[in-house]
Every structure is written in structure tokens, then in C-alpha cells.
Amino acid sequence: MPRVISLADDAACSLAECVDALDRTGFDPADEGSLDHAARWLRRLGNDRTFLGDLLIEQLARRHREDLLDSAYSPQVLMLAPPNGRFFIRANIWPSLDEHMVRASGGDAFVLGLPHDHNFSFLTLGYFGPGYWSDYYEYDFEAVTGYRGEAVPSLRFVERSRLEEGKIMLYRAHLDVHAQGAADSLSVSLNVMHTTGAQGWLDQYRFDLERREIGAIISPGPSEALLKVAVGLGSDEALDLAHRFARRHPSDRARLAAWDALAARESDAAARDALWREAEGAGSLLVAMEAKARRAALAT
């Protein structure tokens, strides 16, 4: 399960002070000194019990003018400090099942009950409310290839617990898996998120807990969508690039995206089956297993 960090510090800081302190040193969760530094400043930010409410009120007051917060990429998630290549800070609002937004949108909109890992590490602190519940698991990332339906025998249940107010946890990339439940009442968490240039190439998975297997890759990169659009438009350059990516790209996920893009151009099932048969022997276990599943779907 995520590592619980016990850290007593009664000092409080502003959002600007927290950002400045982290910006001077960065945030490397693999370095104990950096981790302690980031957790301490997150604790201090959490000790300021009014800053987030003040920000929200100010943003509402300026609703038709420029955004006070540079980015709020969903109504549930507020960007407090934008990505700078090393970290960013956000606040997450977790409604209870009784909230109208959950009843109207359903739990999927809030990632409730979706067992998943992360392709990044991050610190989280319970800022307000009782906090969300999670069933926590761990698994061996290095032992899986990542295709849908792949068995994950290393996946094991650890415990069910709650992100209570004041609790700090480190979610560890490619290790911690959680199936998140709703908070008992409206809650808020603060996160310091670790970022790297390689993150877009690292896979994040959804798990089927009952079958103990990979459900899907849930971290598609923006270049994959661009590739599919380019191939769909049909230029010779795009087709050549897709064929080269399909056979030689260092990322298996990018290879699969290229094969998907090429298959989408084929007008009949026989041509798609032939393409996926070729993909099965293209030198990637991930692509081979996904190609086999696609051929089976075409046969039904």
C-alpha cells in the first residue's frame, strides 16, 4: 500500500511559499532527503486551513475574467501549481455517494471502484473531511508485459484504509494499486505530483481484481492520437511512419498504436485479420498478444 509518512510539524505556509520551497530543490520521491523536504512543505501547506477556500472564493468572484488558477482540468481537480518538468501541485475534491454530482454523473466520473496503479509517484495529504476509502494492493510491475488479460499472480491485497485529515501518504509508481471508494462526506486532498520527461512512455494499468489480470492500459500518450489522425488522413509520409513505428519503435505501446492506426484503414475483416497476423510476428510480446485478441474478435 502507499507508504504512510509520519511527520509532525505545526508550522503553516502559504501556497506561494510551498511552491517556492519545492521549486528550489525539486521533488524526487526516490531520494529520502527530497521526499522528506516535499512532505514537510506539504504538511505546512495543509496546516493553512483557509488558503484553498480563499482561492476558490476569489476564483468564483472573478468567474468571467482571467482564471485565477492557471488550470482546473476538471471540476474535481484544481491545479494549484502548474507542471514545471519536476512536479506540480493540485487539490482534489472527493464527493460522497450522497452528493448530487455523483448521483448525476455516476462513480466512473470520479474513478470510483477502478483498480489502477500510477505511472508516477505522488504525495497526498488529507486536507479536509473524513477522506476517501481505498482497497490497497501491490504487484510486481517488472513481471508483467501489459497486454489485456495477462495474469498478474503477484497482485496481492494489503488493506483497506482511509485518507484521513492530516494523513500523508506516498503513492509509489508501478507498485501501489488502489480501488478507490467514495468519501463518507465531502473531502479534499492535496497532492505533490512527481513528473519526468519519460512519464508519457510509462504504462499505467487498470486491473481486473476478480481475475487477477491486466484489464487495460489507461495511459495513452498524445502522440498516439496524433499518429492515428495522421494515418487516417492517408498521406504517404504518415503511412511510412506508421509502418516504421509498428516494427521498430522502442515503445511497445507506440507499436500497438501504429498497428491499430493501420488496421483502422482496412475496409474489410479479412484485410484487418491479415494485418494483425503480421503484427503477431513483429517482435513484441505485447503487440502479439493484443493482435491475437483482435483476430479472435474478428472471428466472432
pLDDT at 134 over 70: yes
pLDDT of residue 67: 54
Residue 126, beta-bridge partner list = 165, 189
- 178 and 42, same structural domain? yes
Distances (CA, A) of 136 to 72, 219, 223: 28, 20, 32
Residue that finishes a domain, picked among 195, 217, 239 = 217
pLDDT of residue 15: 97
- Rounded Cα distance between 153 and 201, Å, is 24
- 249 and 207, same structural domain? no
- 177 and 89, same structural domain? yes
Order of strands across the sheet with 3-4? Answer: 3-4, 168-171, 122-128, 187-194, 87-94, 77-81
Residue that finishes a domain, picked among 164, 184, 217 = 217
pLDDT in tens, 278-299: 999 999 999 999 999 999 999 9
- 234 and 131, same structural domain? no
Instruction: Read off the pLDDT of each residue in 27-31 and give the average, rounded to a whole number.
Output: 96
pLDDT at 219 over 90: no
Q: What percent of the chain has pLDDT over 70?
A: 95
- 196 and 282, same structural domain? no
pLDDT in tens, 158-191: 999 999 999 999 999 999 999 999 999 999 999 9
Could you tell me how many helices (H) and strands (E) the chain has, helices first?
A: 9, 11
Domain count, the chain: 2
Tell me, what CATH number does 87's domain have?
2.60.120.10
- 147 and 280, same structural domain? no
- 97 and 207, same structural domain? yes
- 187 and 75, same structural domain? yes
- 263 and 122, same structural domain? no
Burial of 73 (0-12, 13-18, 19+ CB in 10 A): exposed
Angle between helices 252-264 and 236-248 (to 10 degrees): 140
Burial of 278 (0-12, 13-18, 19+ CB in 10 A): middle
Instruction: Read off the pLDDT of each residue in 124-132 and give the average, rounded to a whole number.
Output: 97
Predicted TM-score (pTM) of this structure: 0.90
pLDDT at 60 over 90: no
pLDDT of residue 72: 45
Residue that finishes a domain, picked among 217, 236, 259 = 217
**Domain of 268?**
222-299
- 212 and 227, same structural domain? no
- 270 and 133, same structural domain? no
pLDDT-derived band at 102, boundaries 50, 70, 90: confident
Cα angle 79, 81, 83 (rounded to 5 degrees) comes to 95
Would you tell me how many other CB atoms lie within 10 Å of the CB of residue 185? 15
- 190 and 158, same structural domain? yes
pLDDT of residue 99: 86
